[in-house]
Amino acid sequence: MRGYLSASIGVTCATALALPMTLPATPAAALARPAEARPAKAATAAPAVPGSTQSLPLAPRPGDRILGSAAEQGLYRPDVRHFSLVGVVWDNPDTELYGRVEVRTREAGGGHWSGWQDMETHNHAHGADPDTAERASGRVRGSTAPLWVGDSDGVEVRVRADGDGRALGARSPLPAGLRLELVDPGTAPAGSGGRRALDTGAAEAEHSTGSAESAAANADLAPLGATEIPALNRQQTEQEAVTLQRSEMRQEERRVKPYIGPRPRIVTRRGWSADEKLRERGFVYTKKVRAAFVHHTASGNKYWCSEVTSVIRSIYRYHVLSSGWRDIGYNFLVDRCGNIYEGRAGGLAKAVMGAHTLGFNTDSMGIAVLGTFGSSKPSKAAVGAIARLTAWKLGLYGANPNGKTYLTSGGGNLYQKGKNVRLNVISGHRDGFATECPGRLLYGKLGSARETAAKYQGR
C-alpha cells in the first residue's frame, strides 16, 4: 500500500525540477560526511542484515539563471533499488530548510507514478536536547520527516527555497549537503511473517549482543526473546508494580502507587524485527517519567496495519543512519489499529531518554502515532491506545494523566534553557516546541485521552 503525506507546514513557493540522470547511489551507513561521494559498488553490495539505505546527493536545477543551488535542487532517478520510505537530509542539524520539498515515486513492478507529495520540512523539532552526548556526537544531520510510499523503484524530488525573504541574504536559503534518503525496511525474520538472510561473523555477533541487551532491559516484564509483553488486568499490574519498585531501577520508590492503569499489550523491538546492531550500544536514562508528549510521524496515513513493522523499521533506519540519532527517537509508537510498539531500547517500564521533543526529553516519554493528522482524523483505536499506555506507564511513576507537571527546558524555540515550564502531563509536541505536530486533529483528541487514562488509573 502506498502512503501519502497530505500537507506541509509553512511553505509557499513555486516548484522546480532538477533532472540529473547519473548520480551514484550510496548507502547512508557508509557516509562519514553527508555530502561525501562513495563508489557505486558499495550501494549494490548485498546487505548483511535486513534493509538498506540509498543516499543520493541533490543537484542544482539545470539552466537556473538566478540563484542556482541556493534556490532550487532536485533529482530524478527511475532506476533505483527497491525502497519504501523517503526523506531528505542535510549537513547542519541547526539549519532550517525554509522551503518546499516534494516527491513522487514509481510503484515497483507496476510502473505507475504517484502524484507529487509534500514532505514536512520542520523535523528539527524532534531530536536530542542541546548539550547532550547524542546531540554532540557529530553524526546528527538536519532532516525532513520521513514519508512512507510503499514498495517503489523510481523517484523524483524537487526542493525550492521560500521566496518570502526569511532565509535570503548572505547565506544560501537551502541548507548545504542536501541528500535524498531511500529506505528499504527489509524482510522480517522467519517467525515474524517473513524471512531473513543470516548474518555472519562480526555482524552476527554484534546483532546478537544488541538483541540480548535490548531483551534484558525488559526482563522484569517478559521472557528473553519475547516478541510482545501481554496485557495484564488491574490486579496483575499492581502486583507487577511491587516487583518493579523493588528492582534497582526503582530503588528510590518504596511504596505501591495508588493509581496505575492495567498494562496494555506491547509489541517489543524483537516483535518488529529491529536490527539491534544499527543503534548505539548502551542506554541513557532519566530519573522519572513526569510527562508524555504525543506526536504524529507525518509519514502519511495510507498503510495497512499488517505493514506497520516495516514502517517502523524504516523510521528506525532513517532516524539512526540518515538523521544520525543513537536509536529511534520515540519511546513508543501506535498504529491506526490501536497496537502499541516499543520504540527506543532500554526497557518498557524504565525512564528511557528519547529524542522526540527538543528541549524536553528529560523526565518525559514520547509516543508517536503513525500517520499525519493535520487534516485527517486519528482513529478511535489509536486514541484509546494512547490512553491505555499513558495510564500504565505514567502510573508507574505516580503521574496523573489528567494533571499538570513542571519540566525544565533544555533549550528550544519556545522556552529558553533552564526555564521551568508548567505543562499538561499528557501534552502535544507543539506544547514544548513551535511545530504543528501532532497535527491539529490529533491534538484536539488529547483532552479525551487524558480523561480516559485517568479513569483507567481509577481516578
User: For residue 76, what are the β-bridge partners?
Assistant: 156
Characterize the bridge pairing of strands 142-143 and 59-60.
unpaired
Q: What is the pLDDT of residue 38?
A: 32
Task: Supply the DSSP string of 383-429, one letter for each residue.
Answer: HHHHHHHHHHHHHHTT--TTSEEEEE--S-SSS-TT-EEEEESEEEG
Q: What is the pLDDT of residue 254?
A: 45
Q: What is the pLDDT of residue 187?
A: 87
CA 198 to chain centre: 27
Characterize the bridge pairing of strands 179-184 and 147-161.
unpaired
Characterize the bridge pairing of strands 72-77 and 99-107.
unpaired
Q: How far is CA 206 from CA 189, 202, 227, 316, 448, in A?
A: 17, 6, 20, 17, 43
Q: What is the pLDDT of residue 246?
A: 64
Q: Spell out the domains of the chain, with CATH numbers in brackets.
A: 28-184 (no CATH), 201-456 (3.40.80.10)
From 366, 367, 350, select the one nearest 358 (Cα to Cα). Answer: 366
Q: What is the pLDDT of residue 146?
A: 97
Helices (H) and strands (E) in the chain, counts: 7, 18
Strands (E), 11-123: 52-57, 59-60, 72-77, 83-90, 99-107, 117-119
Distance CA 283, CA 71 (A): 41
Q: How far is CA 42 from CA 162, 202, 302, in A?
A: 35, 19, 32
From 146, 126, 135, select the one nearest 429 (Cα to Cα). Answer: 126
Q: What is the pLDDT of residue 139?
A: 94
Q: How far is CA 98 from CA 72, 101, 103, 398, in A?
A: 12, 10, 17, 42
* Distance, first Cα to last Cα, the chain: 41
pTM, to two decimals: 0.84
8 Å CB contact between 61 and 72: yes
User: For residue 301, what are the β-bridge partners?
Assistant: none
For the chain, 459 residues long, the average pLDDT of each consecutive 10-residue run is 36 33 34 32 40 96 56 93 97 91 94 95 82 92 96 96 56 84 86 39 61 92 94 92 67 59 97 96 96 97 95 98 97 98 98 95 98 97 98 97 96 88 97 93 98 97
Q: What is the pLDDT of residue 274?
A: 96
Q: What is the pLDDT of residue 207?
A: 59
From 117, 145, 135, 2, select the one nearest 437 (Cα to Cα). Answer: 145
Predicted confidence (pLDDT) per residue in 164-188, tens digit: 544 444 445 899 999 999 999 998 7
Q: What is the pLDDT of residue 109?
A: 86
